[in-house]
Amino acid sequence: MKIIEILTKIDRRIIYLILLIAVIVPLLFPSPEKVRVMPPVEKFYYAIDKIPEEKALIVDFDYAPQTAPELDPMGFAILRHAFKKRIKVLVLSLYVQPLGLARNALTQVVAEFNSAAQTNADSIIYGRDYVFLGWQVGPILAMLSMGESITNFYKVDYYGNKTDTLPLMKQIKNYNNVGLLASLSGSDIPKYWVMYAQNRFGLKVGAGVTAVSASEFYPYLQTGQFSGLMIGMRGAAEYEEMIEKNLNIKSRKKASESLPALTYAHLVMIIFIVIGNIGYFIKRRKK
């Protein structure tokens, strides 16, 4: 009993130190955690996997640096999946801040594939296989305008090229030529894609969201308005598991490597909560 009493009186700074160690050590020595793929992520994967050859995938990067640890791995995994399956990709951001994150994901994933390519046909070529549309003023205006004409709204791409001169954009006119939109966001943006693009134009929508906002988006999955849902780092790790298992993509699994830090941090907190409660009831019993 004395041990419990001692533990309940531990200086909070020691608890913070133990928690810090539990988080840092797994990140310094990363070891991917094996996860079981759940139906929401599985649905997302197959919604992208079954996009017809003549249609494109739109990936909307709409998250800030503070939510990037959860959502960045989703973007990387989706791009790897699409390029491996030779699915045409359009990338955009409804806000200015995520543009750098979107560009970084595209640059890294394209470099991965092109480093292993042997011919022009095997390579991922800008304008032929993917286009970075960038950003234009007005999120809702973008959602509605692209339903009529993508090149009329995005007259130039992120790099300043006229979109109507790019080979891919001569094929992808509007939402009729889009198989799915993947909305990666730390806000309510996926709901707006459903309201303005799906309800009006019939665009299929999949969402990748932060863990803290999961409860807001589950109803959209249950009603079929979302074609799939990835939630937090766990969801990203599940998608990484899917592309490795089904497509033999052996790239670095950032989400899977980060999960042990979360697991150990939660275990440390649970242990101290249990110790604190035991100590409380022991003291109460003595009184």
Query: Any idea where the domains of the chain sit in the sequence?
Result: 1-26+260-287, 33-252
Q: What is the pLDDT of residue 123?
A: 92
CA distance 238 to 229: 11
Q: Residue 147 in contact with residue 172, Cβ under 8 Å?
A: no
Q: Select from 84, 201, 209 the least CA-distant residue to 148.
A: 201
Q: Residue 86 in contact with residue 255, Cβ under 8 Å?
A: no
Q: pLDDT tens across 14-37, in order?
A: 888 888 888 888 778 877 778 889
pLDDT, greater one: 116 or 202: 202
- Binned at pLDDT 50, 70 and 90, residue 7 comes out as low
Please state the separation of Cα 109 from the chain's center in Å: 14
Q: pLDDT tens across 31-61, in order?
A: 777 888 999 999 999 999 999 999 999 999 9
- Residue appearing with tokens 């490795």: 244
Q: Select from 257, 260, 261, 255 the least CA-distant residue to 68.
A: 255
pLDDT at 1 over 60: no
Q: What is the pLDDT of residue 8?
A: 66
Q: What is the 3-state secondary structure (H, E, C) of the chain?
A: CHHHHHHHCCCHHHHHHHHHHHHHHHHHCCCCCCCCCCHHHHHHHHHHHCCCCCCEEEEEEECCHHHHHHHHHHHHHHHHHHHHCCCEEEEECCCCCCHHHHHHHHHHHHHHHHHHCCCCCCCCCECCCEEEEECCCCHHHHHHHHHHCHHHHCCECCCCCEHHHCCHHHCCCCHHHEEEEEEEECCCHHHHHHHHHHHHHCCCEEEEECHHHHHHHHHHHHCCCEEEEEEHHHHHHHHHHHHHHHHCCCCCCHHHHHHHHHHHHHHHHHHHHHHHHHHHHHHHHHC
pLDDT, greater one: 227 or 255: 227
Largest CA distance in the chain: 81
- Binned at pLDDT 50, 70 and 90, residue 127 comes out as very high
Q: What is the pLDDT of residue 25?
A: 85
Round the average pLDDT of the chain to a whole number and report it: 90
CA distance 61 to 92: 6
- Binned at pLDDT 50, 70 and 90, residue 257 comes out as confident
Write down the CATH number for the domain with range 33-252: 3.40.50
pLDDT at 150 over 70: yes
Q: pLDDT tens across 163-200, in order?
A: 999 999 999 999 999 999 999 998 899 999 999 999 99
CA distance 238 to 68: 17
CA distance 155 to 232: 34
